[in-house]
Amino acid sequence: MGDDRELLCLGGWFSLPECARVGRYLIERPVHFARKFFAGSGELVDVLSEVLRAVKLDGALFYNAEFSAPWAAHSIDARTVTSYLSPNSQHVIIFHLMTEGRGYAHIKGDDRPIPLNAGDILIVPHGDAHVLGNGPSVTPVDRAQVLEQVLSQGLKVSRMGGGGETTKFVCGYMACEPQLSRVFLGGLPPILKVSTRDGASGQWLENSIRYSVDNVDASGPGGEAVLAKLSEVLFVETLRRYIAKLPTEQTGWLAGVRDPEVGKALALLHRKPAHPWTIAALANEVGTSRSVLAERFQRYLSKTPIGYLTRWRLQLGAQMLKSTSNSVAQIAAEVGYESEPSFNRAFKRAFTLPPARFRSQSKPARTRAVHHAVRNGRHRAKR
């Protein structure tokens, strides 16, 4: 007999089998989860899915805050957080989801405040130092000085402030590979805000995160893993909403993703980068002419489709050289080059170093990062 009981799972009501299926799919394929469960996202999320699959976005490190006015805090910057993530965390994206109350934010050095209300998600894509607060001006608390304490308590509520109006929010840090992530991060401002409450998908995400935070102890060892994956889905949804609101005259990668022809072409190139694409084959798959596709690519990305593909293949190759022990010949084949010499020539033109030397020069940095992480782990274990 099937189990037809309904449970509150990730902020929504599901049958027991559905709840298990949703949770498993979320953990295993968070970005594809976004495409499947957010109706109307179309090719836009499809492109993001393919890019983020290569970038390997990794949701991690959260804290749960409840501050009372007046309060202000220097948010922990990405460089400080990096050592607490995995050794390969070279780029960190910061987000703040305000679940109750109001406040403001501004990048350090820029005193123009961005107003925040319940339901707003604030993304700091380049990891810039910034200030959050609410109420009359007070000296900001430096959260970096209490980082270990904040992170060691997990999702237990962190409280501070003057006893006035309450603001609640969940903060998170997501790590990603910097070279590949430059594709979409390069077009983002230092700080961006969207509301989660002007659509069903955003409200579902906010409810899911709030539910996971409130019940992380009850949900067992997998609770924080679910929350980490939800943060990745939240990032995709935030990007989707940001892209959808770009001005019609906007150019660049993010605007190109929204264009029907360019967006579909980008999804194909990122889904199958090693395929022997030609402009004719790509235009045929997109359903347009070669001239139209070339013109629209030039308008948005200032390069040809094949020129874009070449650069992406080489970026993938560079990432594989740093993160795998595969031979140069294997990597060349995996990213779409017919021979190792042709890959070597193209790689040297792009990175000024041949692949083997690029790999050898990348190893010391990785080794230092691993040793640093091990030392941190031993230090915390002794405490």
Q: Residue 202's pLDDT is what?
A: 75
Where helices occur in 40-101 by DSSP H, the ranges are 42-55, 78-82
CA atoms within 13 A on the CB side of 367: 6
Range scoring the smallest mean pLDDT among 9-18, 62-71, 303-312: 9-18
Q: Residue 368's pLDDT is what?
A: 43
Which range of residues forms the domain containing residue 296? 253-361
Kindly indicate the confidence band of residue 45, based on its pLDDT and cuts at 50, 70 and 90.
Answer: low
Q: Domain for residue 376, yes or no?
A: no
Q: Domain for residue 124, yes or no?
A: yes
Residues 188 and 312 occupy one common structural domain? no
82-103 as b/e: b if 16+ CB within 10 A: bebbebbbbbbbbbbbbbebbb
> Residue 225 pLDDT > 70, yes or no?
yes
Instruction: Collect all residues with Cβ–Cβ distance below 8 Å to 350 and sequence separation of at least 6.
Output: 311, 314
**CATH value at residue 340:** 1.10.10.60
Q: Residue 87's pLDDT is what?
A: 56
Q: Residue 170's pLDDT is what?
A: 87
What is the CA 238 to chain-centroid distance, rounded? 10
Q: Residue 376's pLDDT is what?
A: 46
Portion of the chain with pLDDT greater than 90, in percent: 40
Q: pLDDT (tens digit, 9 = 90+) per residue, 288-336?
A: 999 999 999 999 999 999 999 999 999 999 999 998 999 999 999 999 9
Q: Residue 51's pLDDT is what?
A: 84
Q: Is 232 left (phi over 0), alpha (psi -120 to 50) or beta?
A: alpha
Q: Domain for residue 15, yes or no?
A: no
Residues 146-151 have a mean pLDDT of 67
Q: Which of 211 and 224 is assigned the larger pLDDT?
A: 211
Residues 211 and 135 occupy one common structural domain? yes
Residues 206 and 312 occupy one common structural domain? no
Residues 338-364 have a mean pLDDT of 92
Number of domains in the chain: 2
Residues 34-40 have a mean pLDDT of 51
Q: Which of 229 and 259 is assigned the larger pLDDT?
A: 259
Q: Domain for residue 48, yes or no?
A: yes
Q: Which of 200 and 311 is assigned the larger pLDDT?
A: 311
Residues 219 and 269 occupy one common structural domain? no
Q: Residue 48's pLDDT is what?
A: 80
For the chain, the average pLDDT equals 79
Q: pLDDT (tens digit, 9 = 90+) per residue, 76-92?
A: 767 777 766 665 567 88
Residues 286 and 210 occupy one common structural domain? no
Strand partners, 96: 122, 171
Q: Residue 218's pLDDT is what?
A: 45
Q: How far apart are CA 124 and CA 110, in angstroms?
A: 14
267-281 as b/e: b if 16+ CB within 10 A: bbbbeebeeebebee
**CATH value at residue 141:** 2.60.120.10
